[in-house]
Structure 1
Amino acid sequence: MMKKAIVFAVAAAMALTACSGGEKTAEVAVESETTAAAQGTEAEKEAEKSVGQEEEPGKKVGVSLLNSTHVFYNNIQKSMDYTAGEMGWSVDFQDASGDANKQLSQVQDFITKKVDAIVIAPTNSAGSKSMVELADQAGIPVFTMDIKSDGDVVSHIATDNYKGGELAAQYLIENILTDKTGTAAVITYSEIESCVDREKGFTDYLEKNAPDIVVADIQNYSGDQQKAADVMQNMLLKYDNIDAVFCVGDPAAIGALSSITAAEKDTKIIGYDGNPEGIAEIKKGGNWVADVAQDPEAIGKTTMEAVEQYINGTNPEKEILIAPYIIDASNAE
């Protein structure tokens, strides 16, 4: 009888142990199912988030450049493209080739494509006003760089060109006509407001600081290098002596240099842009002695940042000016 009782007790204990083990196994299974479900939910959320990110496109900006063959604009384009890439944006670059009608067509195309913003380096300050108005009617913000427009844009980003003209005049006084007397000339680009600012900065500075330096002639080259050569040749024939010429762009300086060299004159040249051709001539130690340098990389980057700022809901400064600087034999590289 005792043996039966012991056997029964052991069997009961084994039964209880089996049930207890079964409960633990069930708990583990439930936990595993819960964990798997949770992990699945998180994975789904991440997948949804990823899909959402892929579906949200970056902004697109349309850019019409005055002339893509110019080194200055090439460097602006590279800077804008790089900055846009960092933002996850894309840029549609177009070359107006100095043609106002072509630029108008490009702006109309940007409007048709419904870009998020338009940036123009105008071929003509007055003529670009209608382009700005067209974009404004379509609800697309317009920015200008390097050259101002007569239209009302969100922001204008450029070199401080008036200051650049002053720097050229200051260099003339301190390094060429140090006795503050002599004869100078200017080759300008009257269709482009930024170039007129350079001319005005130069003449105003001389008038205030060296009134005995005579600006004998100011001639327009209209962005044509050969015309600059012709203009310089005519000046050299017209005047007995021209000590120095200020050229509002390096293409004008290249044209002027060819005529000065052909005439075997000692006229000094101060250019404007800081392009490689100018720097190479300065390093030779010849007639081309200095250049007012711009910073196209900073202009491109700052322009894209201004567009981003506006699209994100904050108005940038109406005019953002980038400081120019002088390059001469002491720092030409």
Structure 2
Amino acid sequence: MKKILSLLLACMLMMSCMVFPAMAEEELTFGYIAYNMKDEWQQYSYEAFQYACDQMGVKCVMLDCEYDLERSIQCMQDLIDREVDGISIFPMNPDQGATLIAMANEAGIPVTVENYHLEETAGDFIATVACEYDIIGEAAFNYISETWPGAKVLYVAGKASSGVYASYQDGVDRALATEGNTAELVSVVHGDWNTELSMNVTNDAINAGLEFDVIFANNEAQAKGCYNALIENAMENDVKIVTTGGGPSGLVMLESGEVDATMSAPVSLQGLITFKNLYQFINGKVPAKRTAVPVIPIVKDTLDSCISWIVSDVAVDYIGGLE
């Protein structure tokens, strides 16, 4: 009997020293507030965030505010009621971002931000990760000057009233003012991020007799419209197109020769980095307060080495892992 009791006590002691995976650490739950899941950029960013959650064993609750302010407030309240461990927000604009941050602050839930570099006055947030469009515009015109010295450039820009276009223009102006930059900006026309309108304004420039040998299109949808206009006017072999994005459709256009270069800003990195900022903070680390999505020029010959918008371990390795 004593032997049996001794064995039972020994077993109990051994079990008390064991750490079972399910009990070792409570599973984290991160909330994610999307601004509009119908937007391609948003979709790829969220897919990267979810990928990171899966890799690190974190539960993800994604709520889509569908570009609606009141709905975004409801989404934040829902995540607060669920008592999630942290929240990443993709703001519609700085004011809405500040509103959501204030709600998270009041609830005592850590919050981080993607796609906007909000000011410190927006509230207490962990970090921001976003494209810096002025850097992309500057990189594009530096590339044009270096690749085709003395190029005459038609800039088929995004919507004139948008902050994104204004930021692009700041970068373009900075590049043109740099000593040694030989590109000439002959005109700025606005295609409003749209393929058909970009085709129309490019046709208008051609019909007005404007002379140019390079087009800078503000995104790949616009680049498609520009290329269509060149085809209509039998100019596709005479005019180069440089665009931005590096998305799946843009890579196809590079492969086919419809565009000559794209200033890639892999949104997969944005989704991974916003996860990493939140995960590091929860685990006692201090992430960089502001991170720019890197600008990586891609041409047809470098397609094999590009960072895809479709998230993979290649993108994870690029940012040095997720911890």
Tell me which interval the TM-score lies in, with the shorter structure as reference length. 0.7 to 0.9
Aligned positions, number: 298
**Residue pairs, 1:45-56, within 5 angstroms:** 46=18, 49-50=19-20, 53=23
- Aligned: 1:115 with 2:84: yes
* Preserved contact between residue 146 and residue 158 of structure 1 (Cα < 8 Å): yes
- Deviations along 1:34-92, whole A, 9 cap, x unmatched? 2332113323554xx549717x6422222233443454433322322122123221112
2:290 matched residue in structure 1: 319
- Deviations along 1:242-300, whole A, 9 cap, x unmatched? 433323322332343334433444443211110121111122223x2110112333322
Structure 2: 5+ residue runs without aligned partners? 305-323
Aligned amino acid, residue 145 of structure 2: I
1:141 matched residue in structure 2: 110
- Aligned: 1:300 with 2:271: yes
- 1:57, 1:187 → 2: CA distance? 49
Q: Between Structure 1 and Structure 2, which shows a larger proportion of helix residues?
A: 1
Equivalent residue in structure 2 for 1:254, among 221, 224, 233: 224
Distance 1:329 1:300, change over 3 A: same
1:106 matched residue in structure 2: 75
Aligned amino acid, residue 61 of structure 2: D
1:36 matched residue in structure 2: 8
Distance 1:89 1:193, change over 3 A: farther
Equivalent residue in structure 1 for 2:140, among 161, 165, 168: 168
Where 1:128 maps in the other structure, the secondary structure is: helix
Distance 1:172 1:121, change over 3 A: same
- Aligned: 1:182 with 2:129: no
Aligned amino acid, residue 215 of structure 2: V
Please state how far the C-alpha of 1:156 moved relative to its aligned partner: 0.6
* Sequence identity (%): 18
1:86 matched residue in structure 2: 55
- 2:9, 2:214 → 1: CA distance? 82
- CA RMSD across the alignment: 3.1
Please state how far the C-alpha of 1:134 moved relative to its aligned partner: 2.8
**Residue pairs, 1:246-285, within 5 angstroms:** 246-266=216-236, 267-285=239-257
Distance 1:185 1:52, change over 3 A: closer
Q: TM-score, normalised by structure 1?
A: 0.75
1:8 matched residue in structure 2: none
- 1:321, 1:166 → 2: CA distance? 14
Structure 1: 5+ residue runs without aligned partners? 1-28
Aligned amino acid, residue 63 of structure 1: Y
- 2:211, 2:99 → 1: CA distance? 44
- 2:21, 2:260 → 1: CA distance? 59
1:6 matched residue in structure 2: none
Where 2:177 maps in the other structure, the secondary structure is: helix
Please state how far the C-alpha of 1:133 moved relative to its aligned partner: 2.5
1:3 matched residue in structure 2: none
